[in-house]
């Protein structure tokens, strides 16, 4: 039997997907990739899930692709990154350990990334004679351009403070505050309407219309539809009545 390298648990609307292959630093092996995709698909289709936390065991969040496998294995990486990037629920990456190469691609695809202050990062590809090509699709959307040039080309290790300053992380906190900080984010996220969150994620990822006038027209149509929607009306009533909206988990 294939070992369970990815665990999924759901509590109070928060799904935690845990990478559990510490022996190889949670490298993206064939079984881990398959199990991760399965967990992402299951949480996307589960209406009880409001937020996804991408967690891990061991001293590394993810070391990137499993270098013991054939080079063709990298062809499966876009599917994982795209599933995180387009996931209908907010995805929070929680790093208590280091990230390298493809592991940084995972956290860059998430909506929010929080790391313990001691964690380190590196784009090690060029030092192996390869290119950070696939992960660049998610990473370059987050990184400051000058930092991207420096770190992609040198492969230098950098710390969580630098990762926050260049846009890779939202927050870096002391290790003993990591759980509390992730809980703070998930506590805020579950207060958002499920449909509103999904549409806002699409808004954040969308390309602009050809002209400003067309952009305003498209956004006005979306805004008006949401104000008139059942979810929007429930949210407005809850605000007026000073109570939690019906979609907010009770525990």
How much is the pLDDT for 118?
98
How much is the pLDDT for 105?
98
Predicted confidence band at 2 (pLDDT cuts at 50, 70, 90)? Answer: confident
Strand partners, 94: 114
Q: Which helix (H) or strand (E) holds 98?
A: strand 98-100
pLDDT in tens, 114-157: 999 999 999 999 999 999 999 999 999 999 999 999 999 999 99
Residue 55's φ and ψ, nearest 5 degrees, are -115, -175
* Tokens linked to 1: 């039997």
Measured distance CA(115)–CA(174) in Å, rounded:
8
Asked if 99 and 119 touch (Cβ cutoff 8 Å), the reply is: yes
What percentage of the chain's residues is helix, strand, coil (to nearest 5)?
50, 20, 35
pTM over 0.85: yes
pLDDT in tens, 167-197: 999 999 999 999 999 999 999 999 999 999 9
Q: Domains in the chain, please, with CATH?
A: 6-189 (3.90.226.10), 194-240 (no CATH)
User: Which residue is it, tokens 């990137």?
Assistant: 64
How much is the pLDDT for 196?
98
User: Which residue is it, tokens 């009306």?
Assistant: 233
Asked if 160 and 117 touch (Cβ cutoff 8 Å), the reply is: yes
């Amino acid at each position: 039997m294939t070992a369970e390298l990815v665990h999924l648990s759901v509590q109070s609307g928060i799904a935690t997907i845990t990478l559990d292959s510490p022996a190889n630093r949670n490298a993206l092996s064939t079984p881990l990739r398959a199990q991760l995709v399965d967990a992402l698909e299951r949480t996307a289709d589960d209406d009880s899930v409001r937020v996804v936390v991408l967690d891990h065991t061991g001293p590394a969040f993810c070391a990137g692709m499993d270098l013991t496998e054939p080079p063709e294995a990298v062809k499966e990486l876009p599917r994982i990154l795209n599933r995180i990037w387009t996931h209908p629920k907010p995805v929070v990456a929680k790093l208590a350990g280091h990230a390298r190469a493809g592991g940084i691609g995972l956290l860059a695809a998430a909506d929010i990334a929080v790391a313990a202050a001691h964690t380190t990062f590196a784009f090690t590809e060029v030092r192996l004679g390869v290119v950070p090509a696939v992960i660049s699709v998610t990473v370059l959307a987050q990184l400051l351009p000058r930092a991207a040039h420096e770190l992609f080309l040198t492969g230098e290790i950098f710390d969580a403070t630098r990762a926050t300053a260049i846009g890779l992380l939202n927050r870096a906190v002391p290790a003993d505050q990591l759980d509390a900080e992730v809980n703070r984010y998930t506590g805020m996220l579950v207060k958002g309407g499920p449909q509103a969150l999904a549409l806002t994620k699409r808004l954040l990822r969308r390309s602009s219309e050809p002209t400003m006038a067309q952009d305003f027209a498209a956004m006005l149509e979306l805004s008006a539809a949401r104000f008139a929607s059942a979810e929007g009306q429930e949210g407005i009533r809850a605000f007026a009545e000073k109570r939690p909206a019906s979609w907010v988990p009770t525990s």
